[in-house]
């Protein structure tokens, strides 16, 4: 008998960011969640669906969202691909 491991995960992460002005002073601290509704061995070779939400709908949250969807999502995808 051969045992074949499998997994199906729903992942929710919290995020916190700090935005600073040119002098280094903190000007905003948005927070939110990242939701991956389905990560499994079946889709290990695909990029997972990823939803980013913020506690507030403001300019600071929008800046973090744009940054994450640009550079941050690629870093997250590398980490998630290590699950498979």
Tens digit of each residue's pLDDT (9 = 90 or more) over 5-45: 888 989 999 999 999 999 999 999 999 999 999 988 888 77
| Domain annotation covers residue 1 | no
- Number of structural domains, the chain? 1
Report pLDDT for 29: 96
71 or 15: which leads in pLDDT:
15
Report pLDDT for 83: 65
| Domain annotation covers residue 3 | no
Measured CA distances, 68 to 21, 23, 42 (Å) = 19, 23, 25
| Domain annotation covers residue 15 | yes
**Reported pTM:** 0.75
| Domain annotation covers residue 2 | no
Report pLDDT for 84: 58
Length of the chain: 84
Can you give the residue range of the structural domain that contains 60?
A: 8-81
| Domain annotation covers residue 61 | yes
| Domain annotation covers residue 70 | yes
């Amino acid at each position: 008998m051969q045992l074949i491991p499998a997994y199906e995960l729903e992942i929710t992460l919290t995020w916190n960011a700090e935005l600073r002005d040119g002098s280094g002073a903190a000007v905003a601290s948005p927070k939110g969640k990242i939701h991956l509704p389905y990560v499994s061995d079946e889709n290990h070779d695909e990029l997972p669906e990823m939803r980013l939400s913020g506690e507030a709908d403001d300019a600071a949250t929008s800046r973090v969202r744009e940054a994450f969807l640009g550079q941050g999502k690629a870093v997250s995808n590398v980490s998630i691909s290590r699950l498979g």
